[in-house]
Structure 1
Amino acid sequence: MRGHCLKLLTRKYSSYPLNTSISRPKTIADLYAKYNAQQPITMVTAYDFVTANWAQAAECDVILVGDSLATCALGYESTNQIGLEEFRYHVQAVCRSPGPAFVMVDMPFGSFESSIQQGVETAIAFMKGSPRVGAVKIEVGSASSAFQEQDYSLKLAAELCSRGIPVMGHVGLTPQRAHSLSGFKVQGSKSAEDAAAIYHTAQQLQNVGCFSVLLECVPHKVSSYITEKLSVPTIGIGAGLGVSGQVLVQSDVLGMAPHTVPKLARKYGDLHSQSVGLIRQYANDVTARTFPDNSKNGFKIKDVVWAEFLERVSCSNAK
């Protein structure tokens, strides 16, 4: 019987139903179980249903719907350009992917800066949008940053945590604040004051209730020190081995784009070249008329139906 059911799910057309049985999603408790066992937490971004399916099938612990999708999947020049509604569309697509991964969502630029109330409403909308969303991530400036953004961001993080909304704080290189940081640069590598500011900001995020802290482009010695001093998991990207887990952008991992990946990433494949080659092969088959193959890709018509069709059209043509 089970084999018969699986046979019914065999793809026959371009659109077909999927088996939507969903396993229990991981929770923060599951992530802490790995953290307490000193097992690295695996985290990767996803942009849509397909990339989320890949991450789920690869058994990653956490899927981050990051605002990096703006530049990596949608063609924007900056992550700051994506609007909230457009971003929420992709969040919904990722959440439709079945699997146990814990889903976390970025707070995109412009969705929380106007006021604490705006930030709370944005976070609530994400959490209400799908039961699969388990937390939000907020970029937070360090104490020595030029415009002191951290005061507002920390207040927002505290407000969200007090309302029971899980928050991951993001420190170090914060792409949404790249202009105030004078570009995409390693943070805390040239000034002890800056390194200490990152450490203190991470401490403050823990103190206001954040369940985890992401460290981006921070020297590995500083990241290791922060991880040792905190009692919440740290996730690193360009932060070395001494953190509780790692996150990478999926397009970098798979080599979806022709350009080289940043130093902080590792390219595990060349999906761009492979995809171009396969599509070119398809186009060549169409040009050579070797695709489609009527015997394999076509659909038959009964002889009696075909004969009746010819009779009908011949009669109509004669009128």
Structure 2
Amino acid sequence: MSVHTENKKKVTTLQLKKMKQSGEKISMLTAYDFTTAQIIDAAGIDVVLVGDSASNTMMGNPTTLGITLDHMIHYGRSVVNATKRALVIVDMPFGTVSGNPMKSLDAAIRMMQETGADAIKIEGGLEIKDDVKKIIDAGIPVMAHLGLMPQSINKYGTYAIRGKDEVEAQKLMDDCLLMEELGAFGILLEKIPAKLATAISEKITIPTIGIGAGSGTDGQVLVIQDALGMNKEFSPKFLRRYADLNAIMTEATQHYIADVKAKNFPNENESY
């Protein structure tokens, strides 16, 4: 399978906007470590998201709430060190952007300085508009995250689709327009009706990235462990698995164990 990798120039927020304008879809995957980021960057991915989903995939927490700013800086720095072409966005974790603009700005500055990331992603809309404005006015690129917001899972009480009723759908549209007005360079839309995601994408001039939001967004994102089949327990409707690394890694590990037990590894050629 051929992959579009001819353009080796660094991806920027401006380039993402031009991709939307030209109709070129934006590809995004998560990564949390140097090796994975290096592989997907070399493969030609447009954007690498260091998601707070690291709380689940890397730390084994049941929600994203358990990951801290220090944790995210650690994962973010590892990914930035590996990435040459893709735009790198790091999530601001739960509690770091929550209604205190100066505190939020301090956290955002730490994130940018200590990771070297190109941008940050923030969950929320109208409720944190002052925080977002303060951060953007300081020169920090922000991608908004609306729809299902995992950091608010205890408020929702469910991971069900958001924006199904007219009131919530209108608020979602209003929040997207607000984030565009504040200067966000893009919006991630999670688990909302496809028609609503398409309508938002057509209404605003900044790129939208969807996860469980249909094909009408300007780009798509998946968690790398899900897309590559490492995580077998998570199987939502929107997920397409592009490999079965769980099976491959299990078989390889069992083969290694068998070789060690049988005294077949290491052999003479593998010894000094």
TM-score range, shorter chain: over 0.9
What is the match of residue 142 of structure 2? 167
Q: Is the 8 A contact 1:261 1:267 kept in 2?
A: no
CA contact 1:84–1:111 (8 Å) conserved in 2 = yes
- The aligned residue for residue 155 of structure 1 is 130
- Say if 2:209 and 2:221, in contact at 8 Å, map to a contact too: yes
Deviations, residues 238-260 of structure 1 (Å, cap 9, x unaligned): 11111110111111100112324
Q: Secondary structure at the match of 1:71?
A: helix
What letter is aligned with 1:68?
S
Please give the secondary structure, in 1, of the residue aligned with 2:192.
coil
- For residues 129-148 of structure 1, the C-alpha deviation after alignment (integer angstroms, 9 at most, x for no partner) is 243x111110015xxxxxxx
Trace 1:56-135 onto structure 2 (pairs within 5 A): 56-113=41-98, 115-131=100-116, 133-135=117-119
What residue in structure 2 maps to residue 238 of structure 1? 212
- Distance, in Å, in 2 between the alignment partners of 1:114 and 1:195 is 23
Contact 1:169–1:210 (Cα < 8 Å) also in 2: yes
Match of 2:270 among 297, 305, 308: 297
- Equivalent residues in 2 for 1:231-310 (5 A)? 231-294=205-268, 296-299=269-272
Q: What is the CA distance between 1:89 and its match in structure 2?
A: 0.8
TM-fit CA distance, 1:114 = 6.3
The CA distance in 2 between the partners of 1:240 and 1:57, in whole Å, is 27
- Paired AA for residue 107 in structure 2: T
Query: C-alpha deviations, 1:136-191, integer Å up to 9, x for none?
Result: 110015xxxxxxxx32x2211111111111101111000000121221110111x1
Instruction: For 1:193 and 1:218, locate their aligned partners in 2 and report how far apart those are by CA, in whole Å.
Output: 14
Measure the CA separation in 1 of the matches of 2:235 and 2:248: 17
- Unaligned 5+ residue runs, structure 1? 1-22, 142-149, 300-319
- Secondary structure class of the residue paired with 1:276: helix
Larger Rg: 1
Displacement of 1:207 in angstroms is 0.6
**Structure 2 runs not aligned, ≥5 long:** 1-7
- Secondary structure, counterpart of 2:221 in structure 1: strand
- Deviates further, 230-239 or 113-122: 113-122
Distance change (3 Å), C-alpha of 1:184 and 1:72: same
3-state SS of paired residue (1:258): coil
Cα distance in 1 between the residues matched to 2:177 and 2:17: 18
Task: Give the aligned length.
Answer: 265
List structure 1 segments (4+ residues) > 4 angstroms apart after TM superposition.
none
Equivalent residue letter for 1:137? K
Distance 1:255 1:187 in 2: 26
Q: Secondary structure at the match of 1:265?
A: coil
- Tell me if the contact between 2:121 and 2:145 (Cα under 8 Å) persists in the aligned partners: yes
What amino acid is aligned across from residue 104 of structure 2 in structure 1? G
Distance 2:262 2:254 in 1: 12
Counterpart of 2:221 in structure 1: which amino acid? V
* Residue identity matched to 1:138: I
Aligned to 1:140: 124
Does the 8 Å contact 2:99/2:130 carry over to 1?
A: no
Once residues 173 and 107 of structure 1 are traced to their aligned partners in structure 2, the CA distance between those partners, rounded to angstroms, is 16
Quote how far apart the aligned CAs of 1:278 are: 0.1
Q: SS at 2:143's partner residue?
A: strand
For the 8 Å contact 2:98–2:131, the answer to whether it is kept is no
Percent identity over paired residues: 35
When residues 75 and 252 of structure 1 are mapped into structure 2, their CA distance, relative to the original with a 3 A threshold, is same
Cα deviation digits, residues 77-130 of structure 1 (max 9, x gap): 111001221221111111110420000010001223262122101111111124
Deviates more, 1:113-122 or 1:236-245: 113-122
SS at the partner of 1:256?
A: coil
Higher relative contact order (CA 8 A, sep 6+): 2
